[in-house]
Amino acid sequence: MTNMHRDFTKVGLNDDEEELLDILEERRRSSDLSFAFRTFSPQPYKAAPPCSTVELNRVVSESQFLRYVTKEVAVEKQLSVEEVQQEARGILGEMSQNLQLGFIRLMAYIFNKVFKRLYSAIFVNMEGLNRLHHATQENPVILMPNHRSYMDFLVISYILFIHDIPIPVIAAGIPLAGMKIVGEILRRSGAFFIRRAIGSDKLYWAVLSEYVRTLVRKGFAPLEFFVEGFRSRTLKSLSPKLGMMHMVLEPFFKGEVFDITLLPISISYDRVLEESLLAHELLGVPKPKESTMGLLKASRVLSEKYGSMHVNFGRPLSVRQLCEGRINRYQYNLTPRDLPEKSTAEAQACASWLAHLVVRKQEEGSQISPWSLMCGLLLQVPTRVLTEEGLPWHQLTEKTLWLRKLALDFGARLNWPDGVPDSDVMSSSAELHRSIVQRKAGCVFLVQEDEPSRKYPGSPEEGMMRTAAAALMLASYRNQCLHVFVRPALVATAIHITKCTQRDELFAFFSFLQDVFSHEFIFIPGESLQDFEEACSLLKKCGAVHISQQEVTVAQGGMEVLSFLQELLKPFIDSYQKKPQQKLFLLLNSNLFISQHFKKHNFNLSFFLYSLFVSNKTHITKKSTTQFQTDVLGMKKKRMLGCAKRKCNTIYPIP
C-alpha cells in the first residue's frame, strides 16, 4: 500500500499549481548505465565565454580585489605579501569545485539506483523546469532550494541532468570535503566547500566572496546554495542567513551584470531519510561526524521505504525588478569595483527582504502530505493518551478530513491522491510512518523506539527518551504544514487574548506577535498589514469570522477553527515561557518590541500581560508584572522599544 501515491494527480489543485510528472517512471523502464551515458547537451548562459575550472580559479586569485585585501592582511599580520598569497591559494584550493561531466555521469548512475530504491516517485513540475531552462540562457541563475535532508542538493543535480539543464555548482559545508573518496566525488560533481565558522578571518571572507562573485559574473554555471544556511532539524523554515545572499547580489549592485535570476525550489518529502537522527539531535545527542564509513553504515536505509518526493521549481524572480525603488545603485559608482566596501544599511535591508521573500516562496511551493495534517492533530492529544489509551482511528480520520478542507481553503498544496478512498490514503500514510505510530485494536498509539540505551537499558530515563524522540518526530512532520496556518493562527491568538473586535487593535497585537515569533516563522519584512488582511480573509473564507470595515467578530460555529489554530501555536508560546518569573523578560529579549499602539489605542497593558500567561495556566506575581509594566512604559520615553536580537536557539517543545 505504500506505493499507492504513484501515478495519481492531486486533489485541490490551486489556480497557480502545475501538473506534476513522476521522473522515476521512465527511469524504471530503462537501463541505469544507458541513462548515465545519455547525451547531455545543456544550453549555456549566452553571455558566458568558455571557462574551465582552472581558468576560473586563476581569475579569482589574480583579481584586483583579492590583491588589495592580500596586501592589507600582510600589513596587519606583519607577513610578506607572498606568504599571504600562498595562504589565499590554499584557501581557494580547499574551497573550489572541479566540475567534470564524467563524475556527473557516475553520480547519475549511482543515484538512479538509489532513488528508485528509496522513493515510490519523484514528482517534478515540468513547466517550472521549462522556465529554468530558458532562464539559464538569459541571466546568471541562483538556485535556492529549502534544506530538509542530505538528499536536497543531490536530487537537484539529478533532475537537471535528466533535462539537459546546466549542472549547478553547489555551496556545501567543509565537513563533506573531508570524507574520503566521497568528498572528491562531490567536488568533481560541482560542490564547493565553505567553512562553517569563518568569524573575522578577513582573508577567508575575501577569497570566498570573490569566488562567489566571479561565479555569478562569469555565468560559469547556475549557483546553488541554501539560504537557510543549515539543514532544518525541525523541518520548518529557518530564518535566512544573509552572508551568501550579499555575495550573489553584489555583482548586480555594482552593475557588473544586467540582472540576476533567483529561483526558489521547494523540496517536500513524505518521509525524511534522517527523521530519527534529527529527533535525537534535538534531544542533545551529538551529530555524527560526516565520514565515508558512516555513509556505508547508513546504507541500511536502502531497505526502508520513504514514499514520494516532490520538487517544485518556482517562478524565476528578477533581482532587477524586485530591487527597483529599494536600493540606489548609483552610490556604487563612487567607489572602484575592486575595492572592498562594507554593505550599506540599504543593501542589507534589500538582501534581507529578498531572502525572506525566497523562503516564503519555498513555503508556498511545498506539498503538504496527509501525514503532516495527521501529526498536527495528534500533537493536540495528550501524550499519555497516545502512549497508554490510544486515539480512536475513526476520530483521527474524521478530523483529518476536516483539516484537509481547512488547508485547501487556506490555499495549501496537498499531496492527496485523487481516485483513492480517503481511508486508504490515511492508512497508507500511517503505515509509511509505522516507526512513529502504530494501529492496534482500532486505535493509534505512539511507538517507543526499540533500540534500548547501552547506558540505561530499560530504565525510566530511556523510556522517556524514546517517547520524546517519537513526539519530536511528530512535531517535525507537523511543522511541514505550519506555514499554511501560522498567519490565521496569529489572528486567532490575538482574538483569544485581547477579547476585542476592533480591527486596529487586533492588527496591533498581530504585529506584536509577529515580532515575538520573527525567528520561529517566516514573515516578509514590511508586510505585516498584508499578512493580517490575508489571514482575516482566510478566516472569513472558512466561516470562522465575520469582517466589517471596523471589526472582526467570531462567527457562530467558528470556534472549532479558532481553537485548533490557537492550539497549533500554543507549543511555541509555551516555549517562550520556560521560567514563570522571567517569562515577560524572555519575551522582551526575543526580538520583541512593544509599540505605541498600546497607548494609542488605549490598550490595557496589564490585562495583556496577565492574559498572555494565565491563559496558558502559568503564574506570575502582580508585583513582577507591575514592575515590568513600569519598565516597559518608562524605557525610551514610552516610544517603540528596540530590543536585542535573540541569540539562543528555539526551545523545542515536547507536547
Q: What is the pLDDT of residues 177-223, one digit of tens each?
A: 888 888 999 999 999 999 987 878 899 999 999 999 999 999 889 99
* Nearest partner of 234 among 535, 511, 575, judged by Cα: 575
Residues in contact with 195: Cβ distance below 8 Å, sequence separation at least 6, in sequence order:
174, 204
Question: Is-contact 469 457, C-beta < 8 A?
Answer: no
Distance CA 612, CA 16 (A): 38
- Measure the CA dihedral 383/385/390/392, to 10°: -110
Confidence check: pLDDT of 338 > 90: no
Give percent above pLDDT 90 in the chain.
Answer: 64
Burial class (CB in 10 A: 0-12, 13-18, 19+), 133: middle
Residues in contact with 403: Cβ distance below 8 Å, sequence separation at least 6, in sequence order:
373, 376, 377, 564
Distance CA 334, CA 295 (A): 51
Which residue bears the cell 529579549? 589
Burial class (CB in 10 A: 0-12, 13-18, 19+), 589: middle
Distance CA 247, CA 140 (A): 13
Provide mean pLDDT across the span 543-571: 94
Indicate the range of 204-213, 295-304, 420-429 predicted with least confidence: 295-304
Model pLDDT, residue 595:
42
Confidence check: pLDDT of 457 > 80: no
Model pLDDT, residue 542:
95
Question: Is-contact 11 418, C-beta < 8 A?
Answer: yes
For 219-249, write each residue's pLDDT tens digit: 889 999 999 998 999 999 999 999 999 999 9
- 44-270+304-365 matches 370-479 in fold: no
**What is the H or E stretch that residue 468 is in?**
helix 460-479
Model pLDDT, residue 290:
73
Strands (E), 520-585: 545-547, 552-554
Distance CA 605, CA 347 (A): 36
pLDDT band at 601, cuts 50/70/90?
Answer: very low
| Topology adopted by domain 370-479 | Arc Repressor Mutant, subunit A (1.10.10)
What is the DSSP code string of 445-462? EEPPPS---SSSTT-HHH
pLDDT mean across residues, the chain: 84
For 36-47, write each residue's pLDDT tens digit: 999 999 988 887
3-class SS of residue 308 = strand
Distance CA 181, CA 161 (A): 22
CATH code at 44-270+304-365: 3.40.1130
pLDDT band at 459, cuts 50/70/90?
Answer: low
Model pLDDT, residue 531:
97
Residues in contact with 634: Cβ distance below 8 Å, sequence separation at least 6, in sequence order:
none
Confidence check: pLDDT of 524 > 70: yes
Provide mean pLDDT across the span 296-307: 79
Largest CA distance in the chain: 78
What are the domain boundaries of the chain? 44-270+304-365, 370-479, 482-638
3-class SS of residue 576 = coil
Model pLDDT, residue 14:
54
Gyration radius (Cα) of the chain, Å: 26
Higher pLDDT, 145 or 587: 145
Higher pLDDT, 343 or 412: 412
Query: What's the grid cell of residue 374?
Result: 495527521
Provide mean pLDDT across the span 509-521: 90
Distance CA 288, CA 525 (A): 36
Distance CA 280, CA 468 (A): 9
Model pLDDT, residue 650:
33
Q: What are phi and psi of 554, to 5 degrees?
A: -75, 130
Which stretches of 236-297 are DSSP H helices? 243-253, 275-282, 292-297
Q: What are phi and psi of 58, to 5 degrees?
A: -65, -40
